[in-house]
Structure 1
């Protein structure tokens, strides 16, 4: 089965095509991994996932989604994340980390929050009005992404993923619904794409060329005048020299909910894979091995991410293989369950 075939990109070789995507756990009150994180990510590594991508990690304090999100803006944060990376490696999986700035969706207690424009995410009072970023702010944040990537390298991560989806800062710059700037970082398609290009290029100054760089995107805004998969493909074309894999999601830049159904985002991954000639990760209500095989064997994506299914069942990769007579090495401690 293609699900259990290895996948190689640059210096990274995954033992299978199953990815645990970043999912916010809101369980890091000191912005550092807690006991929970070692159990949480360790269980999925033990259960057979090929790649685990750690939840959205703020590149600055005001880049966190909440006060209980991980951070990587200080050298003091390298050592605890290095222990987490070592832990996952020891259990047989590769590990990445998603770097993020929440922008106008920052829920941490930081005072000012920032966005490409002074537009609130919603009118429900959940967030304060953001401050429109100056050119100096933009340069500072791009540099913060780069510094965080350098720290991720020192911590031993195999992959860095830039979070450009779900309505957070990079996504806010990309979407015409949240970016109303009148300078070189707005106005038109080229301007709205510039901040992503700045971040990617900055990250590559600290993240080596031989190591894969992932980009998470929202291909569709689900709102009139918003981002479409065709426009997102044009944006991705501008960064494929530096970005190696695109992790394709949707929604989040406005409160409009996506139309969720099994595999609802796979077609976006397929479209971007074909249009941009770049490996993609499909994600979104994928719950069975048959769905994974369909996406992989029909060349709709190169990797498949299981979010909620791995929350429900950390041993999904090993159990599904065993059901089909595929022999994979089980943890020695658990073999007796099948004797």
Structure 2
């Protein structure tokens, strides 16, 4: 009977900030490669629609890139494109019609992207190469940091204009935010290195300002699977506690630039 009650609890409503999900089943974000010209197209919308029809109470949509300096794969969604608002509005309306909340993940891949597609240099906190491709990134200047922080806010605004229920900032496996949080990839000597939380806090503040009361979540890597350095399970509770007051929920994952074999 105990097992039955535990399963039944999945169907109870879940309060998230000012929103209430119909149940506790969350469809987590992942790459679909269904975008066309950088926007969610009909196949992409239909894919998420099926997940909502299957019963998920919360759909977290795949990462939307927040700035042109991040194009990690060919069919990445360019959330910074104003045309994304209309595409996300159509997607959100169809998910809402099926009773699901629609949350948009915001991301910049940093040095875990690739310059092979658009021939742009990667941006990163420090000169640490992409472990998969050995591409050496450009170290972000303060003005680069500012424009990316602004990009997170802009795409949060796009989500609000599209009528989505909220946004989720990616500080997980493939993210610039995690790269700033980690000693593996943040070796800066300025204020963003002295306080590795600074960039994440600036991003979350920019997103919160533009979210207009909608949900703001955080996907956070709590184990970079690199025991010699970086974010570890022992350090993760303090990290999560420092950022939790800025958000409505934290989604815990593992992984870093050194763990694609374990986290893809």
Using the size of structure 1 for normalisation, the TM-score is 0.71
Residues 100-137 of structure 1: CA deviation (Å, up to 9, x unaligned): 00001113424111000111121x5x252110001111
Q: Does 1:203 align with 2:207?
A: yes
- Which residue in 1 is equivalent to 2:79? 72
Which residue among 187, 193, 196 is the counterpart of 2:197?
193
Please state if 1:134 is matched with 2:137. Answer: no
Where do residues 219-238 of structure 1 align in structure 2 (5 Å cutoff)?
219-223=222-226, 224-238=228-242
Q: Which residue of 2 aligns with 1:33?
A: 40
What is the deviation of 1:240?
Answer: 2.5
Q: Given the alignment of the two structures, is residue 147 of structure 1 paired with residue 150 of structure 2, yes or no?
A: no
Q: Which consecutive unaligned segments of at least 5 residues does structure 1 have?
A: 261-283, 285-339
Q: Is 1:121 equivalent to 2:124 in the alignment?
A: no
CA–CA separation in structure 2 for the residues paired with 1:183 and 1:81: 38
Q: CA deviation at 1:54?
A: 0.5
The higher radius of gyration belongs to 1
Q: Distance in 2 between matches of 1:257 and 1:7?
A: 33
Residue number among 174, 183, 206 corresponding to 1:167 in the alignment: 174
Give the SS at the match of 1:81.
helix
1: CA distance, partners of 2:91 / 2:113: 25
* Number of the residue aligned with 1:323: none
Q: 2:91 aligns with which of 84, 100, 120?
A: 84
Q: Distance in 2 between matches of 1:153 and 1:91?
A: 19
Q: Is the 8 A contact 1:164 1:215 kept in 2?
A: yes
Instruction: Check conservation: 2:112, 2:257, Cα contact below 8 A.
Output: no
* Paired position in structure 1 for 2:4: none
Unaligned 5+ residue runs, structure 2?
A: 1-7
Q: Secondary structure at the match of 2:72?
A: coil
The question of whether the paired residues in 2 share the 8 Å contact of 1:158 and 1:211 is answered with: yes
Q: Distance in 1 between matches of 2:236 and 2:34?
A: 32
Residue correspondences, number: 254
User: How much has 1:238 moved relative to structure 2?
Assistant: 2.5
CA RMSD of aligned residues (A): 1.7
Shift, 1:184, TM fit: 0.9
